[in-house]
């Protein structure tokens, strides 16, 4: 662990990183005084920065001091998500494809979009997406499945900002229905003539890790028939990810 003999970090970013590293290295909780001593940063500055980091959920205050926050765990999980998804999703996708024969996707939230990590081509021509392609967050079934379960208010604001009051109310009601059923539907909102059905892959904290979807032509794609199949696949993928974590 760093000691007060080290030079005090100069920039705000240096100080934030030093504090996060010190909390991580304490292997539990640390007091403001301990963090000040280990980083060489004045106690008043540590207290202010810890407050800012706690509000953003990078750190968490407890009765015993400061510990790593949920948002850092989420970022760490997201960094390893593509590799873990690849290991866990293939058997699940094989079963889902056998049951549906449709276009399948597993995607993660990235910025303002959903990033397709794994894609299985179905009967749609051309395919609406493929691995490595970004799809809209607010209209796709994949995006709505993740949005309904996120607890990051800034993400929700980024999607609803600009909507008129009526559209916002409709969208919020839709997300409420997704939370209740754990199934989201895109009725040709993103790709003309394409219906998508998705379900979230959730962490043990009930937060979205990814989403899995099936997409087919509006002419004969029955969302009600697909919903339980996709939900079953999402639950199976959630369990497999827990086993390989």
pLDDT at 207 over 70: yes
> What's the whole-number mean pLDDT along residues 214-221?
92
Eight-state DSSP code of residue 69: -
Closest CA to 128 of 33, 245, 136: 136
Place of tokens 């993400």: 155
Check if the beta carbon of residue 245 is closer than 8 Å to that of residue 223.
no
Selection from 83, 100, 55, 85 nearest residue 223 by Cα: 100
96-143 pLDDT, tens per residue? 998 998 999 999 888 778 888 888 888 877 777 777 778 888 889 999
What confidence score (pLDDT) does residue 223 get?
A: 95
Sign of dihedral through CA atoms 229, 231, 235, 240? positive
Q: What is the pLDDT of residues 38-61, one digit of tens each?
A: 899 999 999 999 998 888 878 888
Q: Which residue has the higher pLDDT, 229 or 240?
A: 229
CATH number of 12-68: 1.10.10.10
Give residue 2's pLDDT. Answer: 44
Location of each CATH 3.30.450.40 domain in the chain: 73-244
Please compute the mean of the pLDDT values over residues 147-176 and round it to a whole number.
87
**What six digits make up the tokens of 44?**
């008043």
Cα gap 239→245, rounded to integer Å: 10
What fold is seen in the domain 73-244?
A: Beta-Lactamase (3.30.450)
- Which residues 6+ apart lie within 8 Å of 221 measured at CB? 102, 195, 215
Q: CA-to-CA distance for 100 and 76, rounded, in angstroms? A: 33
Output the pLDDT for position 96: 93
For residues 180 and 119, the model is more confident at: 180
pLDDT (0 to 100) of residue 140: 92
Q: Where along the chain do the CATH 1.10.10.10 domains lie?
A: 12-68
């Amino acid at each position: 662990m760093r000691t007060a003999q080290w030079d005090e970090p100069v920039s705000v970013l240096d100080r934030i990183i030093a504090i996060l590293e010190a909390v991580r290295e304490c292997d539990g909780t640390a007091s403001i005084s301990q963090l000040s001593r280990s980083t060489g940063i004045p106690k008043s500055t540590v207290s202010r920065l810890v407050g800012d980091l706690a509000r953003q959920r990078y750190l968490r205050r407890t009765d015993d001091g400061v510990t790593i926050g949920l948002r850092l765990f989420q970022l760490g999980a997201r960094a390893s998500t593509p590799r873990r998804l690849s290991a866990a999703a293939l058997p699940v996708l094989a079963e889902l494809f056998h049951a549906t024969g449709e276009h399948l996707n597993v995607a993660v939230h990235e910025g303002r979009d959903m990033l397709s990590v794994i894609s299985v081509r179905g009967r749609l021509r051309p395919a609406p997406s493929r691995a490595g392609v970004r799809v809209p967050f607010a209209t796709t079934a994949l995006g709505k499945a993740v949005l309904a379960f996120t607890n990051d208010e800034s993400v929700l604001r980024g999607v609803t900002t600009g909507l008129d009051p009526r559209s916002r109310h409709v969208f919020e009601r839709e997300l409420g229905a997704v939370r209740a059923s754990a199934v989201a539907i895109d009725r040709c909102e993103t790709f003309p003539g394409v219906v998508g059905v998705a379900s979230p892959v959730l962490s043990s904290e009930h937060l979205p890790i990814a989403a899995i979807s099936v997409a087919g032509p509006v002419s004969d794609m029955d969302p009600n028939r697909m919903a339980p199949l996709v939900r079953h696949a999402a639950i199976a993928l959630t369990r497999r990810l827990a086993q390989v974590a």
